[in-house]
Amino acid sequence: MHLKEHRETYVVYFILILMVLVSSLLSDVFLSLRNINNILRQSVCLGLVSIGQTFVILTAGIDLSVGAVISLTSCLTTGLLMGRDALTIPVVLLVLAIALSIGFCNGFIITRTGIPPLIVTLGTMELIQGGVFLYTDEPYGQISPYLEVLAWGKLGFIPVSVLLFVITLVVGIVILRQTKFGRHIYAIGGNEETARLSGIKVNRVKIYTYMLCSFTAALTGILLASRMGMGDPTAGEPFMLESLVPVMVGGTSLMGGKGGLIGTLAGIFILTVLNNSLNMLDVSGYWQWVVEGVIIVVAVAFYLRGKNWD
């Protein structure tokens, strides 16, 4: 029974292990400490934004505005800081508050108007990205030395960025598995009308999930700014769709109510290991896009077909 309920998770972890074995055979340095450290660091940004996306998709929603939120927070953080340590905490809090406001607006419009999440968040994405380009159309600002620690600092031998990802992941897993809010998310994704009749405040839960998704996107934007040293108005563009791939590959159903962060974690590392291996083999970035596109189609086909197995 347990195997049947979690077969997608077992399959995706089997694929991850297989990819690691193949990559280690193709390259002598793949399992080196330096490359493992690179893989962990490379997984953080995609990982953070995918955590928030998982929450939204579990409610049968989707958030295409995450890329624009990442670009916005990246540019605002460095543009307001301009290298000044004294403003680090106020600026970070302001940027996170703005991101939460964006998530609230997404959730509010979706729940109050009934417009599909795809349309609402696509419109929000266009609005925010346009605003970012009005603010700056080129890399701008300067990160403060305090925030540089986020990308390059270590706590012992553990990179601070990896620690941030692990903490966010653990908190997310606890929320989904151990709290009433998490149970309500699964109930809404499984059958929204039944959840509403059961007394669950569906609209409120949905709004909170979109706020959480924007929050993790903001963390990603701040981390990217810390890594690059300045804000980039196009920094978030790849994440609009890339944040969906680990969630789908990890077994979270686009129809909602099924999946979770354990599967998403495997999806994150499958994408990261794949890109790392292709880079080591000197494969063109264009081909990497092709491979990711194939993965998306196969993952969606696999899990849609899987609905007929139940």
How many whole angstroms separate alpha carbon 231 and alpha carbon 219?
A: 13
Q: How far apart, in whole angstroms, are the C-alpha atoms of residue 83 and residue 145?
A: 7
> Mind listing the domains of the chain with CATH numbers?
2-306 (1.10.3470)
- Whole-angstrom Cα distance, residue 278 to residue 295? 14
At 154, phi and psi to the nearest 5?
A: -135, 145
**42-68 burial, b if ≥16 CB within 10 A, otherwise e?**
bbbbbbbbbbbbbbbbbbbbbbbbbbb
pLDDT at 310: 45
**Measured between alpha carbons, how far is residue 211 from residues 135, 184, 198, 241 in Å?**
23, 16, 24, 18
Residue ranges in the chain modelled with pLDDT below 70: 1-6, 299-310
Q: Specify whether the CB–CB gap between 63 and 207 falls below 8 A.
A: no
Distance CA(220)–CA(113), nearest Å, equals: 29
Least Cα distance to 77 among 157, 34, 17, 135 occurs for: 135
**Rounded to whole angstroms, what are the CA distances from 12 to 8, 121, 125, 271, 297?**
6, 28, 30, 11, 15
Asked if 251 and 54 touch (Cβ cutoff 8 Å), the reply is: no
pLDDT at 295: 72
Residue 4: predicted pLDDT? 59
Predicted local confidence at residue 309, as pLDDT: 41
β-pair partners for 140: 231
